[in-house]
Structure 1
């Protein structure tokens, strides 16, 4: 039995670290200064002030260290390290121009090109695991290209944002996929397999919307973008196939990411898009990057440190009994069936994601301490808990303007529009993001009907059958 952490002020004293953290995150997010690095200070202040409410200061520090040393957190951090490098390798290998080539050589115009842009963004975000990176990388080329090929400006821009949301929701290397899976104790194989029907159903609905409403503009030539076409970049999708295939075969996500990293590096070098020296080399002077590997690791440092701090704060909340009280209240007042449990998971996840400008931290806040205990009480399979939580966080999050990805997407749209002297839609167009609304609809239907729901016994049986087939 874990020792309870006693705090002065009881429940109020226990809530102090959480309140300080959330207020800081909301403040930075509303001021459009949010991000994993700016969030560091909020978590640091929360931990520091919380110490003075602890009756046993030594036990408080031990509690924080137990959170930091949690094996779930270690897996998440390690996976992020390799996922960060993988994303950089995919971009360096020419994936952007490869997808541009796919889109521009089809001869599609208007609504059809908007649909192709959505598909390209889906593939890019699946391959890199970053929704923000997808918007930043693809918008400068695909938005003006679609504009001059007769696409509706608002729907064209939303096609990129929707595709980015799809990859964030499904990619095995996405931070939300990694966090949702490992905070629920789920294997990546089960998560990706069972989440695919939900994500692809929402994508199909969104694709229909883009095909119906994505056209209406005027077609004209754009030779500047035609000059950037490079089909060899599309070969980088092979590396994505390697990662997904390995993960679905039951191999550990770290192992799968290493195979993907090696494949991406080899394909990039063989295709001529990446130089070996770009991967790693001795820099000319101290402080300069050693190459893509260092850049990839550096790209996730902010998220890793914030995750460590969040895990420390969450552990203190758990050991102080605050989370147990919240769960007890929920179970007595609104959660008495498995359907209500899943609806509660959706609600608490969306609620946590609304004020915070990054979605992985929202999952870290509610995943281990609220979602997992409630799901376990109703015997929901780990993958089902992870899927309900991850799908929920990828809905409203992708329509609110103070969130990092929406802000980055709109900045890229405005920049591309200014570069080619074309119009940009208002940022409020994000509120109509087809994929996220479709995903919310699919998720609610799944909960109400029981479609795609699995329980622990069912998942254990499937895992046992897979093990028998593997050894046979």
Structure 2
């Protein structure tokens, strides 16, 4: 306690973080200006982080051994290790299922049974399903977005509204997914129980999601109702997403049941 009281804050401590942000954003903006697709994904974030780490070694005082010991000790923090493990496992799951065509099969399965007049609302629900199952909003946008563009062009729906529906649905991945690195980071770093985060998130997200679905049903109608084609899908490839989704739903109900029982 005495050490914490005597410890003075230092603005230089933010320098490595600022360098990381500057390098990452700068590289992304330059590539975007050059017309590179997915510009902010072309420059690896770990390289930008490494630039920040190097700057920290240069700016802060102490021997190189002391700096390495502090760096390793910080990296070994249980919260950081937990986030890294979750991130690696979730990334591996997303990469494997996408490589075997899981996302395409899941989207095609949904589109096959969505009525043509409600295709925009259907894309919102499909995007939400995929993002919660994978725990990644940006990965789901990249996977579902191109399919949504093709559907919008075929059905004559407003392209901007269709893509907005996909973006809105995919945002569920960072808020309602058990395996989301954002969820893990928020609960572990802030000392918040998982059940409390999900209770608050569901109270915020569910009303907005239901209202969005209703509005898309009324305002997302296609200009011409065309017969939706039967898309090819493989139920075996959809099983990992269904399993993950069921896992998330069971946890949601569990958290709510616990909260309700404690309230009584």
Within the candidate set 84, 91, 103, 2:111 is matched to: 103
Change (3 A) 1:55 1:148: closer
Q: Which residue of 2 aligns with 1:125?
A: 131
Q: Which residue of 2 aligns with 1:165?
A: 171
Q: Which residue of 1 aligns with 2:197?
A: 191
Following the alignment from structure 1 to structure 2, what is the Cα–Cα distance between the partners of residues 209 and 80?
34
The question of whether the paired residues in 2 share the 8 Å contact of 1:20 and 1:45 is answered with yes
Q: Deviations over 1:225-272 (max 9, x none)?
A: x34245565544430244225645879xxxxxxxxxxxxxxxxxxxxx
Cα deviation for residue 52 of structure 1 reads 3.1
Within the candidate set 200, 213, 232, 1:228 is matched to: 232
Within the candidate set 43, 65, 68, 2:72 is matched to: 65
For structure 1, the 5+ residue unaligned runs are: 252-460, 467-472
Counterpart check, 1:85 vs 2:117: no
Counterpart check, 1:178 vs 2:184: yes
The question of whether the paired residues in 1 share the 8 Å contact of 2:103 and 2:143 is answered with no
Normalization by structure 2: what TM-score? Answer: 0.77
Cα deviation for residue 222 of structure 1 reads 7.0
Q: Which residue of 2 aligns with 1:27?
A: 26
The question of whether the paired residues in 2 share the 8 Å contact of 1:145 and 1:222 is answered with no
Q: Which residue of 2 aligns with 1:312?
A: none
The question of whether the paired residues in 2 share the 8 Å contact of 1:190 and 1:248 is answered with no
Normalization by structure 1: what TM-score? Answer: 0.46
Cα deviation for residue 161 of structure 1 reads 1.5
Q: Whose RCO is larger (CA < 8 A, sep 6+)? A: 1
Cα deviation for residue 180 of structure 1 reads 1.3
Q: Which residue of 1 aligns with 2:83?
A: 76
For structure 2, the 5+ residue unaligned runs are: 33-38
The question of whether the paired residues in 1 share the 8 Å contact of 2:19 and 2:51 is answered with yes
Q: How many residues align?
A: 252
Following the alignment from structure 2 to structure 1, what is the Cα–Cα distance between the partners of residues 222 and 252?
41
- In terms of fraction of residues, the more helix-rich structure is 2
Q: Deviations over 1:407-430 (max 9, x none)?
A: xxxxxxxxxxxxxxxxxxxxxxxx
The question of whether the paired residues in 2 share the 8 Å contact of 1:83 and 1:129 is answered with yes
Cα deviation for residue 168 of structure 1 reads 2.3
Following the alignment from structure 1 to structure 2, what is the Cα–Cα distance between the partners of residues 194 and 12?
34
Following the alignment from structure 1 to structure 2, what is the Cα–Cα distance between the partners of residues 187 and 59?
34
The question of whether the paired residues in 1 share the 8 Å contact of 2:115 and 2:228 is answered with no
